């Protein structure tokens, strides 16, 4: 197997996907697009890593997928958040909040002469 | 994450791989389409937009691979590839595959069959609820001497014990069944109500015997087996309420056992009539078995202490039994049911395990040769990027596939072998339960998997020893020292495994030959007997019974074609073991010690002549030895030698059966020894006159001049003429002796077959190794021959080299043998388990076979043509 991307990045992407899907079921392109939008284009989701991530999340049971007919009469695969996925999102959100608060706390510490 | 979701997704990924791939392609196409549209919407030109979308995504194929990896099916896909590859490899090499599958299949089949027998005979729980709480209570005065309990014992236990939740007694007898068709003799178990309560087995219909049935005035009742109800009472539904006449007494059927339940507490019987315990008048006789269920939480040791205090309390009450060492002792019922089988079956489980190990070793050698001959191919694979792990996995896959195929063959063979075993080894209790079930199949498959791993070890060891350098030179293939060392170790191991097998078989054979050569002390040919029991109902008085016996003996003696006729309570080789205790007036046992006991027979004077037992001293019975004359006995020579080693036994007196108030019994004669109790048992015996026995059941024995079949027919007719309702049971004495040899013969043949297979496998192993050595050293041998070496020297060189492995292996085998073989002691007759002659003989046999197996390739070495050998390089 090829080496996995680092846990932080992978975990972050999965969390963002869960967040995007918590709003509404979406297809793969839509998920990427939505994350780009929500982040104000701060993140560019690597499209190549999006689909493997979706596959992994399917295996973990966080999301399910189904084929739907889209507004312009095309077949597209939609991903839906499962109950387990929703719990995972809550857990990750909480963990993220704690971690980022901690990191922020560290970053706010200043040296005696006031330089960061 | 749910394991199930994960597994399902992976499986879907595996089985619907093509559909998944299509869906993935469609999904990615859709993605790129949308990206393109989006870019067009933002104002890019269609061509440029599409190219940019593709670029933004990167290599589509690469992502497909990444997604497939994320599905988690790569290891499974690789396994699939390995399996396909292994199958191809095995098909390409049918000789190797067939040999390995057959050798291992035989080993696994035998092991699985023996396991299944062992499970049902030894390991399986006895079929009662909470079986560990069931005990059998006996009298016991030394670790090896135990016997039944008496009415006095049972009465005392009933009144005083504190350890049992339920307690009951059993007396197993034979009885004449009449009134339901032709009279016949069946085995019955007279039992009290507590016996059923202790075992806790439900009846299928009706009820158990209850305490109220034990009252002296209560009508006799009986519980019957399903089989007896079917056979004689018109089926289990009709049986209830009908009556069954046992020994002339009518019993009402109150219950029917479930189908297939032919034994209770390890005792086989067709009917279970009520046991009405009489009031004890003395301590003996010891005729009952006690069965009890321990209260929850009471240990068997606590129960033993409880019963020991009961023994101590009743000892002073009865003067006829002064043995203060005798204690009422509980023993696990399981031991009674599993009994001797544990040892016998254990021995064969050990033997079959050795055979399996030999088979595995043999196939491991084959697999090693195959792996080394594929060194070139594996080298190429390494060069193309296969890691060592990947190659190891490939080898293991291949071997496990091989051993699983062998396992399938083994299961097939095992189910055949089990059918054979169930019909051929009926003397093992519970063997009828042995069959090919999920347990046996599970064992067989696990053994096959284990074998696969073991077989893989040697090629893996060889693989790990290989340097990083890639060998592609086919001619040099397999020359690695490590491979050769491994092979010689494996071949040595085969000899170490084969020797114990051969020694075991040799010992059993030796023991069997000795047993079959034992002189029974008389000529069994032409001797036939029928057992007759006189029912209480029609022969209530001892005089009536005696008159019947005397008339019968007279009629038989006058039959044409009859040389002699007699009466006996048991005929050789009798196994019912009727013993009585006695105390010699001249040499009494010390106070507080138990009296000696001997096998005790009641016979007529004609019996000695019929069997051909010589009178050595004194006289045999006459009309004077009647029921109101003084008690007399005749003893066998072994008995006289044992109890009167330096004196004349005739004229001495003894106290019989602990009856100190009775008249003394006088020894009136000494007769020759015969093997009354079977060939393996000493011949000491005491004979009393029929007239003084009050025997209700006797054997009419006849020595016929003509055929035994005609004699038996005449015997039956004579009995019918005297009383047409008496059932008879026929025996041919010579056939009984043959039957007593049947079991040792079967065990000997079985272990012999295992040993034969083991020797053949070891020979095959060393033959293969030496053939390989000769091929490998072809060039060197050629050069030496060209330089003038004698061909004979080459043969000797190869044989000597091979024999080194065989000798070292056998040496280790000898140590293993000496450690294992002592367990066989109780199965042997007249041979010590470390009998040097047997061990030397089988070791010689094994090494001779090894010499032969090395000589064949050695001779090939001698015939190598120097020129060809050198120029083919």
Measure the CA–CA gap between B656 and B686, rounded to whole angstroms: 11
How many Å apart are CA B160 and CA B10, to the nearest integer?
68
In a domain, B343, yes or no: no
CA terminus-to-terminus distance, chain B: 62
Residue among B263, B258, B228 at smallest CA distance from B126 = B263
ipTM for the assembly: 0.74
B296: closest CA of chain A, how far (Å): 48
CB of B633 closer than 8 Å to CB of B686: yes
Measure the CA angle with vertex B764, ends B763 and B769; round to 5°.
100
What are phi and psi for residue B166, nearest 5 degrees? -145, 145
Is residue B430, in this structure, part of any structural domain at all?
no
Q: What is the DSSP string of B304-335?
A: HHHHHHHHHHHGGG-TT---TT-EEEEEEHHH
CA nearest neighbour of B839 among B494, B468, B502, B436: B502
Q: Out of A2, A67, A76, whose CB is closest to B69?
A: A2
Specify whether B543 is located in the same domain as B507.
no
Q: Which two tokens stand for residue B350?
A: 């050990």
Parallel, antiparallel or unpaired: strands B134-142 and B286-294? antiparallel
**Two tokens, residue B126:** 């006895």
pLDDT single digits (tens) B653-705 = 998 877 777 889 999 999 999 988 888 888 889 999 998 887 788 899 999 88
End position of a domain, from candidates B286, B313, B338: B338
Judged by a CB distance cut-off of 8 A, whether residue A59 touches chain B is yes
Residue B426 confidence (pLDDT) = 57
CB within 8 Å: B67 and A52: yes
Residues 6+ apart with CB under 8 A from B205: B236, B237, B239, B240, B255, B256
Cα–Cα distances in Å, from B499 out to A97, B637, B830, B839? 73, 43, 22, 9
Which run of H or E residues covers position B222?
strand B221-224
Considering only B18-27, B248-257, B273-282, which range has the smallest mean pLDDT?
B18-27
pLDDT of residue B116: 85
DSSP of B658-718: T-TTSPPEEEEEEE----TT-TTS----EEEEGGGTT-SEEEEEEEESS-HHHHHHHHHHH
A55: contact with B, CB 8 A cutoff: yes
CB-count burial class (<10 Å; 0-12, 13-18, 19+) for B447: buried
Same domain, B777 and B716: no
Longest dimension (CA), chain B: 138
Same domain as B787, residue B652? no
- The answer to whether residues B197 and B304 belong to one domain is yes
Q: pLDDT band at residue B735, thresholds of 50, 70 and 90?
A: confident
Q: Is the pLDDT of residue A7 over 50?
A: no
Is-contact B846 B759, C-beta < 8 A? yes
The whole-number average pLDDT for the span B764-768 is 88
Q: Hey, which CATH number is domain A7-107, 2.60.40.420, 1.10.10.10, 1.10.10.60, 3.40.1690.10?
A: 1.10.10.10
Q: Which residue range forms the structural domain that includes residue B66?
A: 3-72
- Domain contains B607: yes
Looking at the fold, whether B543 and B678 belong to one and the same domain comes out as yes
How many Cβ atoms sit within 10 Å of the Cβ of residue A49?
18
**Residue B62: its chain A contacts at CB < 8 A?**
48
Partner A, chain B 294-353, Cβ-Cβ below 8 Å: none
**Any idea how long chain B is?**
873
Three-state DSSP state, B644: coil
Say which residues have a Cβ less than 8 Å from residue B405's Cβ, sequence separation at least 6.
B97, B101, B105
Task: Give yes or no: residues B225 and B323 share one domain.
Answer: yes
| B86, part of any domain | no
Looking at the fold, whether B644 and B745 belong to one and the same domain comes out as: no
Shared domain check, B210 and B313 = yes
Contacts of B2 in chain A (CB under 8 A): 60-61, 84
Percentage of chain B modeled with pLDDT above 70: 90
Report B:59-118 residues touching A (Cβ under 8 A): 62-63, 66-67, 69-72, 74
The phi, psi pair for B750, rounded to 5°, reads -65, -50
Q: Do B30 and A84 touch (CB under 8 A)?
A: no
B78 vs A contacts (CB less than 8 Å): none
CB contact under 8 A, B38 and A33: yes
Task: Mark yes or no for CB contact B6/A61 under 8 Å.
Answer: yes
Residue B373 lies in a domain: no
CA dist., res. B327 & res. B597, Å (int):
17
Q: Which of A52, A77, A84 sits opposite B66 (nearest CB)?
A: A52
- Count CB-CB contacts under 10 A for residue B675: 22
Burial of B727 by CB count in 10 Å (0-12 exposed, 13-18 middle, 19+ buried)?
buried
* A10 contacts chain B (CB < 8 A): no
pLDDT value of position B61: 63
Which tokens sit at B866?
Answer: 């120097």
Burial B38-71 (b: 16+ CB within 10 A, else e): ebeeeebeeeebbeebeeebeeeeebbebbbbbb
Asked if residue B652 and residue B770 are part of one domain, the reply reads no
| Alpha carbons B574 and B739: distance in angstroms, whole number | 12
- Give pLDDT, residue A3: 35
Å between A27 CA and nearest CA of chain B: 9
pLDDT band at B427 (very low <50, low <70, confident <90, very high): low
A61 contact residues in B (CB cutoff 8 A): 1-2, 5-6
Q: Shortest Cα distance from A103 to chain B (angstroms)?
A: 28
A23 interfacial to chain B (CB closer than 8 Å): no
CA distance B659 to B581: 10
First-to-last alpha carbon distance for chain A, in angstroms, is 42
Query: How far apart, in whole angstroms, are the C-alpha atoms of residue B641 and residue B653?
Result: 16
Query: B700 and B561 share a domain?
Result: yes
> Is A2–B30 a contact, with Cβ atoms under 8 angstroms apart?
no
User: What's the mean pLDDT in B785-795?
Assistant: 86
In 3D space, the residue among B170, B187, B193, B272 whose CA is nearest the CA of residue B225 turns out to be: B272
Q: In the structure, what pLDDT confidence band is assigned to residue B439 with cuts at 50, 70 and 90? A: confident
Total number of domains constituting chain B: 4
Q: Give yes or no for a contact between B754 and B505, defined as CB atoms under 8 angstroms apart.
A: yes
Q: To probe the interface with B, which of A34, A37, A48 has the most B CB atoms within 10 Å?
A: A48
A69 interfacial to chain B (CB closer than 8 Å): no
Pairwise CA distance, residues B50 & B38, whole Å: 10
Over chain B, what is the mean pLDDT?
Answer: 84
Among residues B338, B356, B387, which one ends one of the domains? B338
Tell me which residue in B31, B62, B66 faces A29 most closely, judged by beta carbons. B31
Complete DSSP assignment for B825-844: GGG-SS--TT-HHHHHHHHH
| Mean pLDDT score, B125-144 | 85
A2 vs B6: CB contact, 8 Å cut-off?
no
Taking only the tens place, the pLDDT of each residue in B325-367 is 788 999 998 887 776 677 777 888 888 888 889 988 888 888 8
Q: Lowest-pLDDT range, B323-332, B336-345, B416-425, B441-450?
A: B336-345
Q: Which of A55, A63, A15 is nearest to A39 (CA)?
A: A15
């Amino acid at each position: 197997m090829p080496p996995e991307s680092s846990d932080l990045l992978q975990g972050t992407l999965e969390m963002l996907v869960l967040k995007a899907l918590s709003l509404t079921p979406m297809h793969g392109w839509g998920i990427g697009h939505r994350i780009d939008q929500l982040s104000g284009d701060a993140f560019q989701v690597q499209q190549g890593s999006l689909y493997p991530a979706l596959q992994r999340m399917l295996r973990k049971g966080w999301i399910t997928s189904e084929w739907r007919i889209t507004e312009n009469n095309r077949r597209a695969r939609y991903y839906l958040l499962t109950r387990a996925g929703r719990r995972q999102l809550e857990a990750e959100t909480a963990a993220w909040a704690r971690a980022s608060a901690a990191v922020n706390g560290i970053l706010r510490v200043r040296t005696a002469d006031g330089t960061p | 994450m749910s394991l199930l979701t994960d597994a399902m997704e992976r499986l879907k990924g595996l089985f619907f791989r093509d559909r998944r791939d299509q869906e993935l392609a469609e999904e990615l196409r859709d993605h790129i389409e949308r990206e393109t549209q989006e870019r067009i919407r933002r104002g890019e030109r269609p061509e440029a937009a599409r190219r940019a979308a593709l670029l933004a995504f990167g290599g589509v194929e690469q992502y497909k691979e990444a997604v497939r990896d994320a599905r988690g099916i790569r290891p499974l896909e690789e396994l699939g590839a390995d399996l396909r590859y292994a199958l191809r490899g095995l098909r390409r090499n049918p000789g190797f595959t067939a040999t390995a599958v057959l050798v291992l299949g035989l080993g696994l089949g035998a092991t699985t069959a023996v396991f299944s027998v062992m499970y049902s005979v030894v390991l399986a729980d006895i079929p009662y609820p909470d079986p560990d709480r069931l005990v059998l209570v006996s009298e016991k005065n030394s670790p090896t001497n135990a016997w039944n309990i008496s009415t006095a014992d049972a009465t005392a236990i009933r009144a005083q014990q504190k350890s049992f939740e339920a307690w009951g007694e059993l007396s197993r007898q034979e009885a004449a069944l009449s009134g339901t068709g032709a009279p016949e003799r069946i085995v019955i178990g007279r039992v009290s109500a507590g016996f059923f309560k202790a075992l806790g087995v439900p009846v299928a219909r009706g009820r158990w015997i209850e305490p109220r049935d034990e009252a002296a005035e209560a009508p006799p009742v009986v519980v019957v087996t399903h089989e007896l109800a079917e056979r004689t009472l018109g089926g289990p539904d009709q049986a209830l309420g009908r009556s069954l006449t046992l020994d002339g007494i009518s019993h009402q059927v109150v219950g029917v056992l479930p189908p297939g339940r032919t034994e209770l507490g390890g005792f086989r019987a067709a009917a279970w009539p009520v046991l009405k315990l009489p009031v004890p008048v003395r301590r003996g006789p010891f005729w009952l078995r006690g069965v009890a269920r321990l209260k929850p939480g009471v240990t068997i040791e606590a129960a033993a202490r409880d019963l020991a205090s009961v023994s101590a309390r009743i000892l002073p009450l009865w003067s006829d039994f002064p043995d203060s060492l005798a204690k009422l002792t509980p023993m696990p019922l399981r031991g009674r049911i599993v009994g001797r089988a544990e040892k016998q079956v254990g021995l064969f489980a050990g033997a079959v395990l050795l055979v399996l190990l030999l088979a595995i070793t043999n196939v491991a050698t084959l697999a090693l040769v195959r792996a080394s001959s594929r060194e070139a191919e594996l080298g190429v694979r390494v060069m193309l990027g296969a890691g060592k792990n990947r190659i190891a996995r490939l080898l293991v896959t291949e071997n496990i596939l091989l051993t699983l195929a062998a396992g399938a063959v083994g299961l097939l063979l095992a189910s055949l072998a089990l059918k054979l075993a169930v019909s051929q080894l009926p003397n093992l209790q519970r063997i009828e339960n042995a069959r090919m079930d999920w347990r046996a199949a599970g064992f067989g498959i696990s053994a096959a998997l284990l074998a696969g791993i073991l077989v893989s070890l040697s090629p893996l060891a060889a693989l790990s020893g290989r340097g990083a350098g890639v060998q592609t030179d086919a001619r040099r293939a397999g020359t690695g020292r490590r491979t050769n060392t491994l092979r010689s170790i494996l071949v040595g191991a085969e000899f170490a495994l084969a020797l114990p097998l051969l020694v075991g078989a040799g010992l059993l054979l030796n023991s069997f030959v000795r047993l079959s050569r034992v002189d029974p002390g008389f000529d069994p040919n032409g001797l036939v007997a029928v057992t007759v029991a006189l029912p209480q109902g029609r022969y209530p008085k001892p005089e009536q019974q005696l008159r019947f016996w005397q008339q019968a003996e007279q009629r038989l003696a006058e039959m044409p074609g009859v040389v002699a006729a007699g009466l006996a309570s048991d005929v050789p080789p009798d196994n019912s073991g009727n013993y009585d205790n006695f105390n010699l007036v001249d040499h009494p046992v010390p106070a507080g010690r138990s009296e000696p006991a001997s096998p005790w027979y009641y016979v007529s004077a004609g019996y000695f002549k019929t069997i051909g037992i010589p009178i050595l001293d004194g006289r045999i019975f006459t009309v004077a030895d009647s029921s109101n004359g003084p008690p007399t006995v005749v003893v066998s020579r072994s008995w006289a030698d044992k109890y009167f080693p330096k004196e004349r036994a005739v004229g001495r007196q003894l106290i019989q059966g602990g009856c100190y108030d009775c008249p003394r019994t006088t020894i009136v004669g000494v007769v020759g020894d015969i093997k009354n109790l079977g060939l393996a048992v000493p011949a000491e015996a005491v004979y009393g006159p029929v007239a003084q026995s009050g025997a209700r059941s006797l054997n009419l024995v006849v020595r016929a001049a003509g055929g035994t079949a005609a004699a038996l027919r005449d015997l039956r007719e004579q009995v019918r003429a005297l009383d047409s309702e008496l059932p008879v049971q026929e025996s041919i004495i010579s056939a009984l002796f043959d039957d007593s040899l049947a079991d040792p013969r079967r065990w000997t043949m079985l272990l012999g077959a295992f040993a034969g297979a083991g020797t053949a496998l070891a020979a095959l192993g060393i033959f293969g190794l030496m053939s390989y050595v000769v091929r490998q050293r072809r060039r060197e041998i050629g050069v030496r021959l060209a330089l003038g070496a004698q061909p004979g020297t080459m043969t000797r060189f190869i044989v000597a080299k091979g024999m080194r492995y065989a000798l070292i292996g056998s040496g280790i085998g000898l140590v293993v043998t000496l450690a294992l073989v002592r367990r066989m002691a109780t199965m042997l007759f007249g041979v010590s388990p470390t009998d040097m002659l047997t061990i030397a003989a089988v070791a010689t046999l094994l090494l001779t076979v090894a010499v032969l197996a090395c000589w064949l390739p050695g001779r090939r070495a001698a015939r190598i043509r120097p020129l060809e050998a050198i120029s083919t390089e």
